[in-house]
Amino acid sequence: MATDEGTYEYKLQHGDEFGRTYFRRFDGLAVSSLGVGTYLGEPTDAVDARYRDAVATALEGGVNVVDTAVNYRHQRSERAVGDAIEHADVDRDAVFVSTKGGFVPFDGERPDDPGAYVKREFVDAGLVDREDLARGQHALAPDFLDASLDRSLDNLGLDSVDLYYVHNPETQLHARSREDVYDRLEAAFARLEERAAAGDVGAYGVATWDAFRVPADHDQYLALPEVVSRARSAAKTAGNTATHLRAIQLPFNVFMADAFTVESHEGPEGPQSALRFAHEAGLNVFTSASIGQGELVEGMPEDVAERLAGESTTQRAINFARSAPGVTSSLVGTSDPEHVAENLAACRFDPMGADAFDQVFE
């Protein structure tokens, strides 16, 4: 697991290479404000090898945040990340590793009959009950998350992960009421509190696509205040003195800035954006789709681009996401070591200040 000492030693080794606030705090850890994502890519040996090289290049170059999930590329991304951590010239206690559970993962490739695979490998095997599945592929049941976490640790070759996300819980809203989803989240959190107490995870979080950035009347909406409340109840159920809920993940970029602009979470003085609520609740924010899954490479609005530091559109897009108030780290997926170098170069520029960021939206 990442440690205060290990991550701060890493910061001392690399911090002078980057601009202001490149390293930020996650509890007592020093984590890079640029992270490596591992979502995209075909499930092939060649892409596995590229991911291993890219992640190792990032770890050796100043990025100590790596994000993956058990279902990414049919478990291949986790395995590639594990290989990279093992072979990179960096100590494990300097690396912040996050992964996710919630979706039923295939193994290495997409099966010819996905439904039959899920039934055979998960339902019939007793890993998940059919009624817990939403859209035939997603569950929040504690035993299923337990099994998913164990599978992730095995794929990664690690004894523990630093952050474990419940993955896209809004998927459950396709099958059941919002109140039922909150109940299921609380049960999931209670199990993760137990795994945190056992040392298998350092903290847990909720990774979403829609849930936290849409208006409150949206059918995929989940309220951050209620999620935090359920985590506190789960901690009490597990006998912990404080919750281990420490983070959320959501998409954020120039074209998807809803987490900053949409005020749909009730705070002490009225509705707040997801970023503001998370900050005031003490939650770290990790942004996904920080360059729009590659779309921002093609360009961004000129009036925004001219306010951002960077030598390319990609670099300016990275610095936009890193500049948002309350963001701990912005994830950029890449399996190309050359892209890693360009992304790292973006962070040699200072991020925008809070006032300058606000002015983008005026």
User: Taking the domain 4-360, which CATH number applies?
Assistant: 3.20.20.100
Q: Is the pLDDT of residue 226 over 80?
A: yes
SS (H, E, C) the chain: CCCHHHHHHHHHHHHHHCCCCCEEEECCEEEECEEEECCCCCCCHHHHHHHHHHHHHHHHHCCCEEECCCCHHHHHHHHHHHHHHHHCCCCHHHCEEEEEECECCCCCCCCCCHHHHHHHHHHCCCCCCHHHCECCCECCCHHHHHHHHHHHHHHHCCCCECEEEEECHHHHHHCCCHHHHHHHHHHHHHHHHHHHHCCCECCEEEECCCCCCCCCCCCCCCCHHHHHHHHHHHHHHHCCCCCCEEEEEEECECCECHHHHCEEEEECCEEEEHHHHHHHCCCEEEEECCCHHHHHHHCCCHHHHCCCCCCCHHHHHHHHHHHCCCEEEEEEECCCHHHHHHHHHHCCCCCCCHHHHHHHCC
- Report, as an integer, the average pLDDT of 187-216: 98
Against a cut of 0.85, is the pTM above it?
yes
Q: Is the pLDDT of residue 145 over 90?
A: yes
pLDDT (0 to 100) of residue 297? 67
- Over the stretch 7-50, which tens digit does the pLDDT of each residue have? 999 999 999 999 999 999 999 999 999 999 999 999 999 999 99
The full set of domain ranges for the chain reads 4-360
- Over the stretch 49-99, which tens digit does the pLDDT of each residue have? 999 999 999 999 999 999 999 999 999 999 999 999 999 999 999 999 999
- Which is more confidently placed, 81 or 309? 81
- Over the stretch 238-272, which tens digit does the pLDDT of each residue have? 999 999 999 999 999 999 999 999 999 999 999 99
- Over the stretch 325-354, which tens digit does the pLDDT of each residue have? 999 999 999 999 999 999 999 999 999 988
Is residue 158 a contact partner of residue 200, using CB atoms and an 8 Å limit? Answer: no
Tokens of 20: 């202001």
Amino acid at 296: L
